[in-house]
Copies of this chain bind each other. A is one copy, B any other.
Amino acid sequence: MMSSPTPGKRQHIVDTAYALFKRDGFHATGIDRIIAEADIAKMTMYRHFPSKDELIVEVLEHRALRFERQLDRLAQEVATPEQKIGKIFDWHERWFRSADFHGCLFAHALAEFGDPGHPVFKAVARQKNGFKQRMQSILEKVMAPKQAESAAAALLMLIEGATLMAQMGLPAIDDARKAAAAVIASARTPQ
């Protein structure tokens, strides 16, 4: 039949766009550069994605899914909530040290698409909410839902802040880890 699009090609576009968006930003990365780097025709791209914005959303959603899978895998490796949270910080520390670390793509997307009605904005909000919910679920094993939500929000803020610091070359993951321990200890014993 030969009518189905090459399965790997769509993913190849997403991966190539991801690498360019991460390094240079969204507005600064043109379609021409994406198709040149991916070595495809422009029409191929526009047949897969109706617009650049939808490509951006797809890139974000793909990375969000990948991140969540890694998170779940990490959480299953250890037993206690403290250990699971520790694994999350470990993962971020390795990320910060990786060669092509350029900060959080979702935070960058939020910076460039600040309109709450924009699909990119919504994709970012989904990812951050999902991350927070996952940490909250972990914490609920050792504290009340209300404390867990508050602590999860604090952990998310610490991690977002640590990512920003890392992008500026200021290593602060150890401080974030210590602060997280203090927050969790405080939430465990609310008195």
Contacts and interface: CB of A to CB of B under 8 A. Distances in A.
Interface of A: 23-25, 27-28, 102-103, 107-108, 110-112, 114, 116, 121, 124-125, 128-129, 150-151, 153-154, 156-162, 164-165, 167-170, 172, 174-176, 178-179, 181-183, 185-186
Contacts of A165: 128, 153, 156-157, 160
A165 B185 CA distance: 23
Contacts of A160: 157, 160-161, 164-165
A183 B180 CA distance: 8
B168 A110 contact: yes
Contacts of A161: 156-161
The 6 A-B residue pairs with the shortest CB-CB distance in the complex, in nearest-first order: A157-B161, A108-B111, A111-B111, A154-B179, A182-B186, A27-B27
Contacts of A103: 110-111, 114
A98 to B, nearest CB: 15
Nearest to A167: B110
Nearest to A178: B150
Given A108-B111, A160-B160, A182-B185, 5 more contacts: A114-B167, A151-B179, A153-B165, A156-B161, A179-B186
A156 to B, nearest CB: 6
B153 A175 contact: yes
A114 B128 contact: no
21 contacts: A23-B114, A27-B28, A27-B112, A28-B112, A103-B114, A110-B164, A116-B169, A128-B164, A128-B165, A128-B168, A129-B170, A150-B175, A153-B172, A154-B172, A156-B172, A157-B164, A157-B165, A178-B183, A178-B186, A179-B186, A185-B186
Nearest to A153: B175
Contact of A157 (B23, B25, B167, B172): B172
